[in-house]
Structure 1
């Protein structure tokens, strides 16, 4: 499973363009009056302001080379402040052998750079936005995680550890390859490395096999 394209809403389109172009060094693609796209390795993100309600924000993670976490951290620090959790500006996940750091864009999206030391390839070029491999995690905030998990099974997407889906907690969903994850999140759960609570906002994810899933304008999960 890979994320080919992700559509996210924002009500700060021009500010977001400036951040992704001038702060992160992305090339803006397919610019329209109500949207623009940026590509991170395999994955393209479209930010748009069509029918926006409230102040949409999301959590998503990008894979970076396994040997470049410290270099990437220095690169980020020159461009934006890192988020803090328990007095620390990064974290090591022992269970998946990965280092992560977090920061926010102007819309409040929570971006994560994750270096999976066993799974991600290495790179010998100086770190830049072009070293991002792909979006490897996208959080999906839903009211009924059990129902959504049952729907995802129809597309071959199952819980990472084979655990039973519960209404509380966090569940990592993937296919049998297990390299890219949908994170099922309940509303009002505090985001890690943030003071924000999870809120349901519209979004569309297109997978590599062209399956589409996400949240519609009525805050309902869909899979087509």
Structure 2
């Protein structure tokens, strides 16, 4: 599975767009009043202004494996990196990946991940946002994890490594390892790593090469 676009609905819209464009240096395109695309390699993260909501999301962007340290230094100059167990990065043994995290002004938990053997190396000498490869993950918090995961499977998206579906005891990583892109179905209330934020159901539109999926606020 490839994730082409995420559509996320946030309350702190203007400050968040300015953060990605002016502070972080991402290329941004306005779609009109209250909607902006953030270029993320082969994918697009679209923020929609939605007043009166307190939605936040976890999403991840793939970066070249050989630019992890450069990317971390680049981001650390512009934002405080999040910490977990007094560490500001993590290595995932199962996926052979290194990640670091930060929070944006909307409260989104943003991860940059370098997947060994999946994310290609870059010929660039250092990281800039133009080196982002694409969208790696979107977290979906649901009160009905099993049903939500089955709906994703109905689009032809398997559980990682063809494992049996969890009913919320563990995370369901929906997608193929070789594509380096996953829809993560989590139990509502489960804390997202590198934050103190419980996952909450939030309106989310995910456009993939298997079709478009809409996840509603009710979870």
TM-score bracket for this pair, using the shorter chain length: over 0.9
Q: Which residue of 1 aligns with 2:123?
A: 124
How many residues are aligned here?
Answer: 217
2-side partners of 1:208 and 1:161: how far apart? Answer: 19
Secondary structure of the structure 2 residue equivalent to 1:26: coil
Secondary structure at the aligned position of 1:135 is classed as strand
Contact 1:149–1:158 under 8 Å retained in 2? no
8 Å CA contact 1:7–1:205 kept in 2: the answer is: yes
RMSD after superposition: 1.5
Question: Take 1:141 and 1:214, find their aligned partners in 2: how far apart are those partners?
Answer: 13
- Deviation readout 1:48-79 (Å, 9 max, x if unpaired): 124x4431100011110011111111001111
Q: Give the secondary-structure state (helix, strand or coil) at the position aligned to 1:183.
A: strand
1:185 aligns with 2:190: no
How far did 1:176 drift? Answer: 7.8
3-state SS in 1 of match to 2:5: strand
Q: Say whether the 8 Å CA contact 2:65–2:114 is kept in structure 1.
A: yes
d(CA) in 2 for partners of 1:174, 1:43: 16
Q: Which has the higher helix share?
A: 2
2:138: which partner in 1?
Answer: 138
Hey, what does 2:4 align to over in structure 1? 4
Stretches of 4+ moved more than 4 A in 1?
Answer: 175-178
The verdict on how the C-alpha distance between 1:98 and 1:176 changes in structure 2, with shifts beyond 3 A counting, is closer
Query: Structure 1, residues 141-174: CA drift from partner, whole Å, max 9, x if none?
Result: 1111111222222211111022222222211011
Calculate the TM-score normalised by the size of structure 1: 0.92
1:198 aligns with 199
SS of 1:130's equivalent in the other structure is helix
Unaligned runs of 5+ in 2: none
The whole-number CA distance in structure 2 between the counterparts of 1:121 and 1:68 is 10
